[in-house]
Amino acid sequence: MTFFLNFNKGEEGDEFYIVEEGSLVALKEDSGKIEEVYKYNIGDYFGELALIKNIPRQASVLSKVFLLSKKVYYVFFVRLMVI
């Protein structure tokens, strides 16, 4: 199965996500060991801490399906349809 990296721990967060389809995993590295700390399923959400507390991402998140944020969808699809 292919995984897509959505963001890395430590990156600035400026988006909030709600899982509509598929699943994702949150990973953290501790002493050189990568650990799955949470599994997101349909209806779950993530990215709120970076927005609310203005802190960097607290974990890396990988999706099992390609994930589009509303911002990316708008830029790539809605604008193309208008042109």
Can you give the pTM of this predicted structure? 0.64
pLDDT, tens digit (0-9, with 9 covering 90-100), for 32-69:
898 989 998 888 888 888 888 989 988 888 876 655 55
Position of tokens 């002493």? 31
Residues pairing with 4 in the sheet:
63
Are the C-beta atoms of 65 and 22 separated by less than 8 Å?
yes
- Structural domain including 42 reads 4-82
The CATH number covering residue 68 comes to 2.60.120.10
- Determine the average pLDDT of the residues in 17-41: 86
> Would you place residue 81 in the very low, low, confident or very high pLDDT band (cuts 50, 70, 90)?
low
pLDDT at 8: 80
Name the domain count of the chain: 1
Q: Please report which helix (H) or strand (E) contains residue 82, including its range.
A: helix 79-82
> Would you place residue 23 in the very low, low, confident or very high pLDDT band (cuts 50, 70, 90)?
confident
